[in-house]
Amino acid sequence: MADKPILASFADRISLPDLSLAPNDALTPSRIRIELLSGLTVALALVPEAVAFAFVAGVHPLVGLYAAFIVGLITALIGGRPGMISGATGALAVVMVALVAQHGVEYLFATVVLMGLIQIFAGAMQWGKFIRLVPHPVMLGFVNGLAIVIFLAQMSQFKVPGTMEATGHGMGGGEWLSGLPLYTMLALVALTMAIIWALPKLTNAIPAPLAGIGVVAAIVIAFGIEVPRVGDLASIQGGLPAFHVPMVPLTLETLQIILPYAVILAAIGLIESLLTLNLVGEMTGTRGGASQECIAQGVANTATGFFGGMGGCAMIGQSMINVKSGGRTRIAGIAAALFLLVFILFAAPLIELIPLAALVGVMFMVVIGTFAWNSLRILARVPRTDAFVILLVTVVTVLEDLAVAVVVGVIVSALAYAWNNARRIHAKTYVTPEGAKVYQVQGPLFFGSAEGFAELFDPARDPQTVIVDFADSRVVDQSALQAIEAVAGKYEATGKRVQLRHLSRDCHRLLKKAGHLMVDSDDDPDYALAANYGVRTGILGGH
């Protein structure tokens, strides 16, 4: 739009403080303090998420917590972009539940190992760069849908402890809170949100989410207020994760069982991680690192499978908390993982006292910051196809999962783009003093416009010499070359001559194989065929 890009700055929408680091800035004590406090905030928010997603997958809570620790630590150390937080996620858990139910947790560990190897291969092949093909409307639908999913995931915390049954979006069976317990829960959530909103206006000395958790927890503990707490979900007490080779038969039958799950999990994990990478990059002003992130996710998941974890990927909610709290370096992610391990080993009794209302309040603020509110304003101003894609991806993200939503959004956007370009093919015509008719083709020539291209010509009534000028067109694919040859064949059948201008040398060579084309190469450009150009760069272009 004229006043603002369609994909508005995410940093603007969540009012981030200016905590970016210049390339030559040193890690000052103040910066290290901010990073450590941000890591502590993230670790506190990771606990209920990891436990809930372990329930979703049908495994012990420690399996989810170990995954959050190992995946979070490794990706923080070698990931593609500082500031990102990874751990056990619901998008992966909903796929794992069928595998665990049918074959047991050992097959899950083997699947996670294979999933990691697939992701390493994808990173080594530099497939991460293809995330750039995700259009902005799909990104808007992605963040909107994910904001709704994060919101729905918090609803399970408003159920009576002991009756909650987690599902993909956190909505399961059980009795809802009512009366005074519900009002108390809502009041504490509102208080947490108010602290997070107001504190940055006074000081940035401590991350606002951490302050909100600390204040509300202190009030609940000091006054003995009866509200659901972290310990009501499950005990998080445990030891160090131990190395463990998955106890599955090393047979072809085992591979046939785990391979389909591993491929799906690898794809979902990479899509969610790379989209989060783009989102964090938009917020922090950083670029690149897609293939490195693929490798980091793969190494993390391979290691997690050998240490009894359920695997994971980037977490947009926790990444938002980290960036909003001031985390800009790898220190914050490393600290979050180590704090989580400390909770498991030593501080479980204390962490289990934290009221869920405080963590729900933090996540509600994440929802407000994640949702692309600007997209509601621009729906009536952008092309109808883009508005449809935004709504479609949002709905599919909520009803299905992120990977399906992104694939659907990209396909719809690509088809809409192809259709719009297919309708652009046309030609201006004139007759030269020598009596030759010139067709000045305008618009891209590809599989979608090949039929329209053929309809531009009139071999029966055209003069003996016809010149087709491609100066204002782009010959994109083999279908386009076939369409050119078919048109030339029709003219040859009537005994007429066709002359092509401004066509690439490679196109000339392929077309000359037909043996009936007269070509004019004096003014033709010297560049490669579009198909070859597209293979080298990943973008179709050229003539």
- pTM (two decimals): 0.75
Of 344, 366, 400, which residue is a domain's last? 400
For the residues 240-254, what does the mean pLDDT come to? 95
Q: Are residues 155 and 266 in the same domain?
A: yes
Q: Are residues 341 and 448 in the same domain?
A: no
Of 385, 400, 415, which residue is a domain's last? 400
Tell me the per-residue pLDDT of 390-439, one tens digit each, with 9 for 90 and over: 999 999 988 887 778 888 999 999 999 888 888 889 999 999 999 999 99
pLDDT class of 517 with cuts at 50, 70, 90? low
pLDDT class of 162 with cuts at 50, 70, 90? low
pLDDT class of 510 with cuts at 50, 70, 90? low
Q: Are residues 435 and 334 in the same domain?
A: no
For the residues 194-214, what does the mean pLDDT come to? 91
Helices vs strands, H then E, count in the chain: 22, 7
Of 2-16, 203-217, 242-256, 351-365, the one with minimum mean pLDDT is 2-16
pLDDT class of 463 with cuts at 50, 70, 90? very high
Are the beta carbons of 49 and 333 closer than 8 angstroms?
no
Q: Are residues 442 and 380 in the same domain?
A: no
Q: Are residues 474 and 334 in the same domain?
A: no
Are the beta carbons of 527 and 542 closer than 8 angstroms?
yes
Q: Is the pLDDT of residue 518 over 60?
A: no
Task: Determine the angle formed by the axes of helices 316-324 and 29-57, rounding to 10 degrees.
Answer: 160
Tell me the per-residue pLDDT of 425-462, one tens digit each, with 9 for 90 and over: 999 999 999 999 999 999 889 899 999 999 999 999 99
Q: Are residues 358 and 429 in the same domain?
A: no
Tell me the per-residue pLDDT of 334-370, one tens digit each, with 9 for 90 and over: 999 999 999 999 999 999 999 999 999 998 998 898 8
CB within 8 Å of 56: residues ≥ 6 apart = 90, 93, 94, 96, 97, 166, 167, 168
For the residues 191-207, what does the mean pLDDT come to? 91
Largest interatomic CA distance in the chain: 99
In a domain, 233, yes or no: no
What pLDDT sits at residue 112?
98
Are the beta carbons of 525 and 502 closer than 8 angstroms?
yes
In a domain, 428, yes or no: yes
Q: Is the pLDDT of residue 329 over 60?
A: yes
Q: Which of 478, 482, 485 is nearest to 530 (CA)?
A: 478
Tell me the per-residue pLDDT of 79-120, one tens digit each, with 9 for 90 and over: 998 989 999 988 898 889 889 999 999 999 999 999 999 999
In a domain, 198, yes or no: yes
Q: Are residues 503 and 395 in the same domain?
A: no
The DSSP symbol for 132 reads: G
Q: Are residues 450 and 324 in the same domain?
A: no
In a domain, 408, yes or no: no
Q: Hey, is 228 helix, strand or coil?
A: coil
- Residue 239 or 2, more confident: 239
For the residues 2-24, what does the mean pLDDT come to? 39
How many separate domains does the chain show?
Answer: 2
What pLDDT sits at residue 421?
85
Task: Determine the angle formed by the axes of helices 356-370 and 179-202, rounding to 10 degrees.
Answer: 60
Of 334, 366, 400, which residue is a domain's last? 400
Cα-based angle 359, 364, 369 (whole degrees, multiple of 5):
125
Q: Are residues 392 and 457 in the same domain?
A: no
Tell me the per-residue pLDDT of 260-304, one tens digit each, with 9 for 90 and over: 999 999 998 999 899 899 888 887 777 778 999 999 999 999 999
Q: Which of 472, 488, 533 is nearest to 506 (CA)?
A: 533
In a domain, 299, yes or no: yes
The most confident of the ranges 12-16, 110-114, 462-466 is: 110-114
- Residue 324 or 543, more confident: 324
Q: Are residues 394 and 465 in the same domain?
A: no
In a domain, 360, yes or no: yes
Cα-based angle 67, 70, 74 (whole degrees, multiple of 5):
135
Domain at 456, CATH number: 3.30.750.24
In a domain, 511, yes or no: yes
What pLDDT sits at residue 424?
86
Q: Are residues 136 and 56 in the same domain?
A: yes
In a domain, 123, yes or no: yes
What is the 3-state secondary structure of 469-515? EEEEEEECCHHHHHHHHHHHHHHHHCCCEEEEECCCHHHHHHHHCCC
What pLDDT sits at residue 2?
41
- CA gap 502, 543 in Å, rounded: 9
Q: Are residues 337 and 476 in the same domain?
A: no
Tell me the residue range of the domain where 448 lies.
Answer: 423-537
What pLDDT sits at residue 529?
40
- CA gap 535, 543 in Å, rounded: 14
For the residues 10-37, what does the mean pLDDT come to? 60
Looking at the chain, the whole-number percentage of residues with pLDDT higher than 90 is: 52
